[in-house]
Amino acid sequence: MRSVFARRAVAAAALAPLLALAAPALAHADTVTPSPSPSPSATAPAVTEGEAAVKDGDSPYTDNCAAGATTAKSADITVGGAKVGLIEIRHSANCDVAWGRIQLTDAGEQYVNEQTTVAITREGSDATYSCTPSLDKSDSLNAYTCYTSVVLLDGGSARASAVNPAFDASPGAGAGEVVTESFAE
């Protein structure tokens, strides 16, 4: 997950060419006559939601896939029986993708470190993406989070996992591994 500063740097870099073009007009704003907006045929073709070419490894925010996403499956993360977080499979029906997300509560803050890994795997393939939560707490979720890149479902299934040696393991999982149930559309 990119830090707030990294996201702002990417946004600033993307806006720099536009600002450079606008600077002369802004300097003489009182003498500039606004030009008409380009006609729809002069702009890029419209892409309907979910139509763009989303691929394995993209951010869930690529092509607006995260908008309207739902939690398809989840599992509590516990340490010594006490809940410290949640591992989720997030799903976008519009883009036909899934990704993993962890939410660690204040009780789970001590597990926000390099020993905690979150992964999403498309079952039956090599497509696996992971992330490590950061101490940059999400205000909207009131939790320490990270999200993985997406896997295309395309009729397949996915499973999310969170691993830390301190976590109580899910039944049948490896030591310290919490796993969601498999999700398929």
Q: Say whether 21 sits in a helix, a strand or coil.
A: helix
Ranges for all domains in the chain classified under CATH 2.60.40: 62-184
Segment 12-32 shows an average pLDDT of 38
Mean pLDDT, the chain, rounded, equals 79
- Per the DSSP assignment, residues forming a β-bridge with 86 are 76, 103
What's the fold here for domain 62-184? Immunoglobulin-like (2.60.40)
Segment 55-78 shows an average pLDDT of 95
Name which of 41-55, 123-137, 157-171 the model is least confident about.
41-55
- Global pTM? 0.71
Confidence (pLDDT) at 53:
83
Confidence (pLDDT) at 93:
94
| Whether the predicted pLDDT of 13 surpasses 80 | no
The two three-digit tokens of residue 28, written as one number: 């003489």
Going by the DSSP 8-state scheme, the letter that residue 176 receives in this structure is T
pLDDT digits (tens, 9 = 90+) for 110-121: 999 999 999 999
Burial of 35 (0-12, 13-18, 19+ CB in 10 A): exposed
| Whether the predicted pLDDT of 18 surpasses 70 | no
